[in-house]
């Protein structure tokens, strides 16, 4: 049975009890009842709805996981699954089509159970005058499962056509439209949204990228408060994923929001009185320090496969104790940081911070000309971006051919500050102007990021080898870590050599023209 035509659905008040279905298509076609069953389906997607974004729903039913094409309604790649977990990484699945597809869709993200639906269903075979099957019709009543309770969602009639019977399918779909009304016709994607809505979920409700529409003439204090409320919201909505240890991207996004908050507080003047700025800069800095080790553990664990692949197999096998210890450290750090996120001190600080920002929006502050928070947002954006841009160019040009670690590390920080400013104020400039500037900067950041990360990894491995002096001798592990440091050093030197050329591509006439156009809008 190969259904290649798009599935068509209709909302039906009666659902499984819809009367007269069998008479809708006569005399041309008949319905033959096949089976009556109840079926539970759990729907999965990442926190960012990446599967939905790629027109795919991940469905687990009857201990089988499959991918549902939200355009055609075709299910593919069924794979046995022993349980219906609350969340899982694609890497736990056996190698094959579905794992490859999910790894491609989800990246580092876990698949989270979004909701569970129970279907009370009758399936019909659609037969033509010579008793040949032309398609299948399903009458369902759908219920949302909430713990031990279930709530009725809707009735649904689903037509799954078969290849080669376009004329019959036209008759069926027209008859269904006349019976249920065109307003009740749904595509598969709309049915998915209906199910998510019934579960109280909003598809695509999370995007960590700054997507605000700042007003150029607004006081910068107002714009900054809007941006800081956004980063506050990102931090809050990632907390459950950190506490649940769902995947490493929750902590990643949390820390990016944290860095953006600190960057805004240090780069934009006049948002709050100096004593308040100082207090919250320190508070957010302390939060960052509390999760530094946890994030380091995540980074190394994510590189585990790459590390093993870097070394010859005879050496790589001895890395296992290192990663075993790393995993144990991660558990301790996750527990420590989770306790902090649940603490009254942390919750009170973030609540007060949010209240402070909302107060700014409701009462922007004084009208004194000398108040820097009253300056127009666009004026501050142009000044701060221009200043940060000149700093990157000045420092980058001063770096010699044989760049030192400290010089490239400092330039990386300069680039980050510029990148944050471009992202903060992006809505104040035309996308066609600011977009290319960000892309040019991104290439330079990738080179500097890779260089600094490789340096950090080597130092961490050195420290670990040093700590082995107080542990039982393990020369094989020391040799493997030494080999890894050598390989990382070679990679770092490649990035060092690539820097000058990368910087020249950034510091060229084209980028300068783009920035000049941006700042002289």
> In tens digits, what is the pLDDT along the chain, a chain of 521 residues?
444 468 889 988 877 777 777 777 777 778 888 888 999 999 999 999 999 999 999 999 988 999 999 998 888 878 988 888 999 999 999 999 999 999 999 999 999 999 999 999 999 998 888 888 888 889 999 999 998 899 999 999 998 888 777 777 788 888 888 888 899 999 999 999 999 999 999 999 999 999 899 999 999 999 999 999 999 999 999 999 999 999 999 999 999 999 999 999 999 888 888 999 999 999 999 999 999 999 999 999 999 999 999 999 999 999 999 999 999 999 999 999 999 999 999 999 999 999 999 999 887 665 556 778 889 999 999 999 999 999 999 999 999 888 888 999 999 999 999 999 999 999 999 888 888 889 889 999 999 999 999 998 999 899 999 988 888 888 999 999 999 999 999 999 999 999 999 999 999 888 888 888 888 87
Angle, vertex CA 265, rays to CA 228 and CA 337, nearest 5: 70
Burial tier of 221 (Cβ tally within 10 Å: 0-12, 13-18, 19+): buried
In the Cβ-directed half-sphere of 324, how many Cα atoms lie within 13 Å?
6
Q: CA 452, CA 513: separation in Å to the nearest integer?
A: 29
Give the separation between CA 103 and CA 421, rounded to whole angstroms. Answer: 33
Q: Are 184 and 18 in contact (CB under 8 A)?
A: no
Written as six digits, the tokens of 430 are: 């035309």
Q: What is the DSSP string of 216-278?
A: TTSBHHHHHHHHHHHHHHHHHHHHHHHHTT--THHHHHHHHHHHHHHHHHHHSTTSS-HHHHH
What are the residues facing 149 on neighbouring strands? 146
* Per-residue tokens: 39: 């079926």
- Torsion angles phi and psi, residue 29, rounded to 5: -135, 155
137 near 173, Cβ under 8 Å?
no
Main-chain dihedrals φ then ψ at residue 508, nearest 5 degrees: -130, 180
CB 368 within 8 A of CB 375: no
Q: Which helix (H) or strand (E) holds 41?
A: strand 30-45
In sequence order, what are the residues at sequence separation of 6 or more whose Cβ sits closer than 8 angstroms to the Cβ of residue 345?
none
Residues 162-188 as b or e (16 or more Cβ within 10 Å = b) = beebeebbebbbebbeebbeeebbbbb
pLDDT confidence of residue 369: 60
Cis amide prior to 27 (ω within 30 degrees):
yes
Q: How many residues does the chain have?
A: 521
Name the CA dihedral angle for 147, 149, 152, 157, rounded to a multiple of 10 degrees: 60
What are 136's two structure tokens?
A: 């299948």
Cβ 66 vs Cβ 77: under 8 Å: yes
Q: Are 12 and 206 in contact (CB under 8 A)?
A: no
Which pLDDT belongs to residue 1?
42
Tell me how far CA of residue 306 lies from CA of 247, 389, 454, in angstroms: 19, 35, 13
Neighbours of 516 (CB within 10 A): 11
| Strand stretches in 87-180, DSSP E | 87-88, 111-127, 133-146, 149-161
Which CB contacts under 8 angstroms, 24+ apart, belong to 337-343?
Answer: 337/242, 337/290, 337/291, 337/294, 338/242, 338/243, 340/287, 340/290, 341/239, 341/242, 341/243, 342/243
The answer to whether 166 touches 5, Cβ cutoff 8 Å, is yes
Q: Token pair for residue 490?
A: 């070679």
For tokens 């296992």, the residue is 320
Determine the Cα–Cα distance for residues 6 and 274; give it in Å rounded to an integer: 61
Question: What tokens does 200 get?
Answer: 């109280």
């Amino acid at each position: 049975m190969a259904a290649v035509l798009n599935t068509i659905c209709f909302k039906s008040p009666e659902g499984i009890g819809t009367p007269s279905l069998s008479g809708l298509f006569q005399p041309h076609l008949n319905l033959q009842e096949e089976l009556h069953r109840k079926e539970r389906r759990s729907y999965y997607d990442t926190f960012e709805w990446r599967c939905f974004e790629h027109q795919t729903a991940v469905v687990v039913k009857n201990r089988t996981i499959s991918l549902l094409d939200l355009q055609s309604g075709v299910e593919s790649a069924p794979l046995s699954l022993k349980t219906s977990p609350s969340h899982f990484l694609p890497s736990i699945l056996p190698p094959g089509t579905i794992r490859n597809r999910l790894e491609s869709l989800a990246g580092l993200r876990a698949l989270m159970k979004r909701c569970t639906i129970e279907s009370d269903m009758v399936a019909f075979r659609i037969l033509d005058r010579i008793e040949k099957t032309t398609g299948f019709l399903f009458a369902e009543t759908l219920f949302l499962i909430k713990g031990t309770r279930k709530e009725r969602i809707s009735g649904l009639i689903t037509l799954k056509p078969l290849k080669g019977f376009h004329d019959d399918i036209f008759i069926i779909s027209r008859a269904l439209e006349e019976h249920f009304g065109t307003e009740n016709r749904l595509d598969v994607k709309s049915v998915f949204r209906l199910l998510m809505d019934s579960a109280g979920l909003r598809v695509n409700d999370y995007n960590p990228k700054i997507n605000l529409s700042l007003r150029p003439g607004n006081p910068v204090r107002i714009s900054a408060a809007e941006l800081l409320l956004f980063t506050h919201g990102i931090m809050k909505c990632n907390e459950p994923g950190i506490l649940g240890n769902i995947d490493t991207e929750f902590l990643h996004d949390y820390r990016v929001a944290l860095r953006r908050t600190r960057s805004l507080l240090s780069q934009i003047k006049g948002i709050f009185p100096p004593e308040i700025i100082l207090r919250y800069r320190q508070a957010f800095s302390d939060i960052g320090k509390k999760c530094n080790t946890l994030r380091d553990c995540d980074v190394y664990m994510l590189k585990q496969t790459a590390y093993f692949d870097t070394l010859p197999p005879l050496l790589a096998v001895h890395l296992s104790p290192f990663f075993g210890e790393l995993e144990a450290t991660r558990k301790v750090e996750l527990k420590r940081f989770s306790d902090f996120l649940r603490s009254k001190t942390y919750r009170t600080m973030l609540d007060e911070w949010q209240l402070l920002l909302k107060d700014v929006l409701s009462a922007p502050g004084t009208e004194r000309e000398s108040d820097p928070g009253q300056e127009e947002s666009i004026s501050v954006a142009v000044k701060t971006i221009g200043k940060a841009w000149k700093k990157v160019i000045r420092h980058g040009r001063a770096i010699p051919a044989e760049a030192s670690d400290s010089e490239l590390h400092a330039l990386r920080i300069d680039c980050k500050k510029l990148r944050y400013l471009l992202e903060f104020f992006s809505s104040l400039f035309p996308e066609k102007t600011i977009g290319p500037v960000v892309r040019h900067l991104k290439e330079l950041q990738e080179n500097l990021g890779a260089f600094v990360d490789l340096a950090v990894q080597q130092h961490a491995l050195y420290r670990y080898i040093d700590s082995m002096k107080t542990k039982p001798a393990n020369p094989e592990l020391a040799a493997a870590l030494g080999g890894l440091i050598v390989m990382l050093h070679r990679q770092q030197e490649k990035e060092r050599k690539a820097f000058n050329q990368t910087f020249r591509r950034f510091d060229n006439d084209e980028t300068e023209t783009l920035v000049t156009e941006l700042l002289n809008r």
